[in-house]
Structure 1
Amino acid sequence: MTFKTTIKIGASVCAGALLALSAGTASAETTLRLITGWPSTSFFNVPLEQFVEEVNERGEGLVQIRLVGGPEVTPLSEQIGSLELGVNDMWYGTISAFQQRIPEARALVLSDYTAPELRERGSFDMLRPFFDEIGLHYLGYFGSGYTFYVYLNEEPTRTEDGGADLTGLRLRAPFLWHPVMEHLNATPINVEVAELYEALSRGRVDGYGWLDIGLTDFSWQDYTRYRIRPNFWQGDVSVLVSQEAWNGLEPEAQALLTEIAIEYEVIAHDYMIGLEQTETQALYDAGMEDFDLSGDAAEAYLAAATDAL
């Protein structure tokens, strides 16, 4: 073997070794499995689906998200546990679903600031350590833009101090709402969302507590004549990533997910505002009127809603 041949063979071996090393150290594309707290047809999933599309387009070769489904795949009560078990990597839903584990997250519901304002104020940086403690990374807040009201099918009694007395009225209300209903002297009862229209039509309930969006999806405007104001609370829809999955991502992937989440906090907020405007107009067109509380009565009403959390 000549000296030149030996040099060529050595060069080829070195080149091959460098290629193998490069291939071994190149960032591999990571796919994250995401579970949502709502069925696939829910309007709540619209910003999420757009977020996923954006990540998959801009994160090609780096990070992808696969939306695996909602409660039909994993019951809501088990969804956070599925992140802890590594079955899923990301979750989209309302923090209220497991508020007892992170009571500090109540700050989102009680806030008067939009998602962009909260981020600018550093609120998420303050909140994130509480999620870290239970193995979750707080990625984004898609919940500002909608709020909550009490709706009635008949005009309430006006009290002397400018409040409302719902004595004798039965209102559909989850447990979280009970202090609000009891403040109004209403009787809270448990009725499944799918059964509420029939309950309203048959007079089994006289009203309900709900968001300012989504009513017309169930045709509840047929039996909604009054809405008590002021409104209270704020949405707390959030995107979480299991800490294990987050730590396993390349820094570039973490940066990209954070960047797109920040963009979609604004998009989600505007989307919810648009839904609220359309929904409110539809309710007015169907004959709904606002019943405004005033003075100390309004303040006491809001205090009851705050204390409920």
Structure 2
Amino acid sequence: MKTYQFLKGAAVASLIGLSAAAVQAEEVIRAVTFTPAQVSFSKNFMKFVDLVNERGEGVVQIQVIGGPEVIPNERMGEAQMNGIADMFLLPAGLYLNLVPEGEAFAGSNLDPMTAREKGGLDLVNEAYHAKANTHILAHVDGGAGFHLWTTEKPGTTADGQVDLSGLRLRTSPLYRAFFEELGATIVVQAAGEVYTSLERGVVDGTGYPVSGIRDFGWDKFLKYRIDPGFFQTDVLISINLDTWNGLSDEAKAIVEAAAIEHEKTSYEANLVLNETESKALADSGIETITLEGEQADLFLNKAYDIAWARLKERDPTYHDQLKAIFFEDF
């Protein structure tokens, strides 16, 4: 009996040991999102997380540890570079100070899948590897631009251009120069601060994609939307390069395949989301002012020219190659 109990105990211990080893073998990636959990960008990211965790059981798992309440937006680029967290859902425009080549994503008028097929992601990763210790996995939630949203009707210049003189607009580093060019007074702040600023009249509007306006509750104050949308949403799934290089080949394959798949499905889902959200915003009373013809071309060309010129000024090394891949002339 004692011998049996000993063998049984040894077997249990062996199984526990194997279980512990299996747990240790499962690689865990800690992820942070630039928006709170209730915003569509973070919700969409969870679809990617679920895909990896389902396929990577026993091999690799993604653990979302929080959003901007964990690491403020303005510090996320450096946090990723330094490995404070592993993976980030983060727009390129929030850390252009580290990697100006990130302009290519917002400055692109191609869908993310086409840019990838043309070698765009491989090329831009050369800069991200060298400058930010970061590996870009996917350009997600594409297919939509940023829009100008205001509480007051913007004016127009003599040549028909939008005139933002007299308006205080919240902006991000990505489109600050564009709004300044249109005459706005700029207030740079994180998205989480905009509701209070609109409520108190500190700002008269903001730039943001259609998705997210209702999530943040800004539709309560906004009255006008200016079309067409400018730039392209530049949300990236990226990972600390040291973490990426440290993953097993099997884990890399699982994560990369899921990222490529999510890039496409999130693009398609975003097109649908933009339609439903646009209707909801219109039904709530937000008026759309649509620029057309030459007026629209001037508006868009000014936006794109600023983005690509800014990249060339900051670091021209990849400018010509990136623009040739990511942008097609109108």
Relative to the length of structure 2, the TM-score reads: 0.76
Identify the match of residue 211 of structure 1 among 198, 202, 209.
209
Q: 1:301 to 1:247 in 2, by over 3 A?
A: same
Alignment correspondent of 2:285: 287
SS in 2 for 1:139: strand
Instruction: Give the % identical residues.
Output: 36
Give the letter for the 1:273 counterpart.
L
Identify the match of residue 272 of structure 1 among 270, 292, 309.
270
Give the letter for the 1:181 counterpart.
F
1:141 Cα deviation (Å)? 1.5
Aligned length: 284
Q: 198-207 or 239-248, which moves further after superposition? A: 198-207
Identify the match of residue 109 of structure 1 among 94, 103, 106.
106
Alignment correspondent of 2:257: 259
CA offset digits 1:103-148 (Å, max 9, x no partner)? 1121111111222222222211121211221422221111413311
Alignment correspondent of 2:233: 235
Identify the match of residue 53 of structure 2 among 50, 56, 81.
56
RMSD in angstroms over aligned alpha carbons? Answer: 2.7
Q: 1:45 to 1:200 in 2, by over 3 A?
A: closer
Checking the alignment, whether the CA contact within 8 Å between 1:180 and 1:301 is kept in structure 2 is: no
Checking the alignment, whether the CA contact within 8 Å between 1:170 and 1:189 is kept in structure 2 is: yes
Q: 1:39 to 1:196 in 2, by over 3 A?
A: closer
The gaps in structure 1 that reach 5 residues or longer are 1-23
Checking the alignment, whether the CA contact within 8 Å between 2:37 and 2:43 is kept in structure 1 is: no
Structure with bigger gyration radius: 1
1:268 Cα deviation (Å)? 1.6
The gaps in structure 2 that reach 5 residues or longer are 1-20, 308-330
1-structure distance, mates of 2:202, 2:159:
29
SS in 2 for 1:41: coil
Q: 1:278 to 1:308 in 2, by over 3 A?
A: same
Alignment correspondent of 1:136: 134
Equivalence map 1:1-309=2 (5 Å): 28-133=25-130, 134-190=132-188, 193=191, 196-197=194-195, 199-200=197-198, 203-309=201-307
Checking the alignment, whether the CA contact within 8 Å between 1:31 and 1:66 is kept in structure 2 is: yes
Give the letter for the 1:249 counterpart.
L
1:305 Cα deviation (Å)? 1.9
Checking the alignment, whether the CA contact within 8 Å between 1:200 and 1:206 is kept in structure 2 is: yes
Alignment correspondent of 2:320: none
Give the letter for the 2:115 counterpart.
L
Q: 1:76 to 1:152 in 2, by over 3 A?
A: closer
Checking the alignment, whether the CA contact within 8 Å between 2:105 and 2:233 is kept in structure 1 is: yes
Give the letter for the 1:103 counterpart.
P
Checking the alignment, whether the CA contact within 8 Å between 1:63 and 1:253 is kept in structure 2 is: yes
2-structure distance, mates of 1:51, 1:175:
27
CA offset digits 1:16-75 (Å, max 9, x no partner)? xxxxxxxx9xx9322222222222332211122121111111112222222222222233
2-structure distance, mates of 1:123, 1:239:
15
2-structure distance, mates of 1:289, 1:51:
34
2-structure distance, mates of 1:189, 1:55:
38
Q: 217-226 or 140-149, which moves further after superposition? A: 217-226
1-structure distance, mates of 2:92, 2:237:
9
1-structure distance, mates of 2:58, 2:188:
48
1:89 Cα deviation (Å)? 2.1
SS in 2 for 1:31: strand
1:258 Cα deviation (Å)? 1.0
1-structure distance, mates of 2:250, 2:128:
22
2-structure distance, mates of 1:159, 1:83:
43
